[in-house]
Structure 1
Amino acid sequence: MRKQIVCINWGTKYGAPYINRLYRMVCANTTPPFRFVAFTDTREGVDPGVECFDLPEMPGFMPERTIGQWPKSRLWAAELGDLKGAFLFVDLDVAITGSLDPFFEFGDENDVVLARNIAKPLHKLGQTSIYRMPVGALAPLQDMFAADPQGVADKYRFEQHFVTKNAPNGVKFWPGGWVRHFRIECIPTFPLNYFVEPRLPKGTRVVIFAGSLNPPDAILGQYNKANPHLPPWQHIKRAVKSPKKIKSLRQFMWPATWVRTIWEKAEQDQASSPKPS
């Protein structure tokens, strides 16, 4: 199976710095030859090793009243740039901590393979921060979505739930332990989070940052910018004043040193790993 890694960028939240950082993490963790492709609305400042294509057309319209990442539906098209066959999609805000090669060796190249949604383990839902599929495998879903974007979004909320439930030939999941959810699987449970720094579980290949907690927040030791990191007792004093005291008390973590190491190395690298081809 040819190694094709794809990312998507729209708007101003991420841009070239995130594309370049992901590219450098891929270079450091993938055996050549491979392609790294970005579907993006900006090419300014993007590393020349990245193959850039314009964003595919949005099917239908952008739904409102939903927090799902529905612009990802652009990648469900029957044709996608000049890509052929299977590709591995990776979100821009992940931390790659191990080899990506096994993601191209697992299962059949015609499979749609998702990460497990660990937030709802009993629901057997997928998570699309890192998934693999053949080009066009979800084209029927794009047609379904385009016919009623708001209705689909209201019913499923998240595009990954829609994919899990409606993929034409079903979905498979990556082996356990390959993909970890930072907030759920890396931060020690309360009250250990006040004493132990976030950990990287053994065997992890990719750490995803679903929700509002992203790698820059993990590096600073905060759940979001609205609640910056404070020493433990100051955090507790702030939490008891919050309307959601218990939740706020649980939302403490120390800065994640290993995330800083991976993130900053990717920023500093000049993609010195072998170039894709």
Structure 2
Amino acid sequence: MKKQIICINWGTKYGPNYINRLYGMVARNITPPFTFTCFTDSREGVRPEVLCEDLPEVDYEMPVGVIGKWPKSRLWSEKLGALSGPVLFLDLDIVITGSLDLFFEIGEEDDVVMARNPTTPFERLGQTSLFRFPVGKLAPMQRAFREDPQKIAEKFRFEQRYVTQNAPGGVKFYPRWAVQQFSHDCVWTFPLNLVMTPKLPKRARVVIFAGANDPENAVQGRWTHRHTAGSLGTYWAARHDRKSTEKNGLRYLRHFIKPAKWIEEHWVG
């Protein structure tokens, strides 16, 4: 199976540094040959090894006021630039910690294969932070989505649930140990999080970040950009800041994390 990596970037949240860093992690953790394509609305500052393509055009409005990352639906198009066959999609804010070869060895070329979402153990739910699909196979989903994007987004909430439940032919899953979620699998539960540094599970190939969590915050010891990095005393004192959104003391302490310095070893371009 040919190794084709893709990512997508729109707006200003993630700049070229995230794209370049992701390419560097991929290149160090994959057996060549491989290709790396970024579908983006800005090519400025992107390293030359990255094959940049314009964002796939769509003829519908993206839903508003919803949680999921629905602009990813652009990737469900019948065509994706010059690519054909299976592609492995990676979010820009992941940390690659081991070989990616595994993700091209599981399943058949025509399969949709997803990382498993660990936060819903009683729901068969995949993660679109990392998943493989053949170019064009999700086009029927995009056509259905086009009919009423807002209604579908409000029904499924997250694009990953829509993919899991509606991918033609169903979905398969990668081994749970291969893709770990930082907040669920790396951060110690309260009260151990107050004294223990977030761990990197030994078998993990990729660590993904959900919600407002991202590697930049985690490496500094912040749950999100709203939280204060530093000692537990400094963190607790910041709870009384009028800008804080977490006034509940116990909940606030549950979101304390020590700096995950191991991220610096892997999250480099």
TM-score if structure 1 supplies the norm length? 0.93
Give yes or no for the alignment of 1:256 onto 2:260: yes
Residue equivalent to 2:97: 97
CA distance in 2, matches of 1:99, 1:169: 28
Consecutive unaligned residues in structure 2, runs of 5 or more: none
Offset at residue 176 of structure 1 (A)? 1.8
CA distance in 2, matches of 1:13, 1:237: 29
CA distance in 2, matches of 1:237, 1:105: 49
Report the more deviating stretch, 72-81 or 219-228. Answer: 219-228
CA distance in 2, matches of 1:45, 1:243: 40
Residue equivalent to 2:116: 116
Residue equivalent to 2:12: 12
Residue pair 1:59, 1:74 contacting (<8 A) in 2 also: no
Alignment of 1:96-245 (within 5 A): 96-239=96-239, 242-245=246-249
Consecutive unaligned residues in structure 1, runs of 5 or more: 268-277
Distance 1:87 1:42, change over 3 A: same
Residue pair 1:240, 1:249 contacting (<8 A) in 2 also: no
Q: Secondary structure at the match of 2:193?
A: helix
Give yes or no for the alignment of 1:55 onto 2:55: yes
Report the more deviating stretch, 34-43 or 235-244. Answer: 235-244
RMSD across aligned positions (CA): 1.3
Q: Secondary structure at the match of 2:130?
A: strand
The one-character-per-residue Cα deviations of 1:73-121 (angstroms, maximum 9, x if unpaired) are 0000111101110010000000000000110011111110111111112
Residue equivalent to 2:44: 44
Q: Which amino acid is the alignment partner of residue 122 of structure 2?
A: L
Q: Which amino acid is the alignment partner of residue 164 of structure 1?
A: T
4+ residue runs of structure 1 moved beyond 4 angstroms? 237-242
Percent identity for Structure 1 against Structure 2: 53
Q: How many pairs align?
A: 265
Q: Secondary structure at the match of 1:230?
A: coil
Residue pair 2:228, 2:238 contacting (<8 A) in 1 also: no
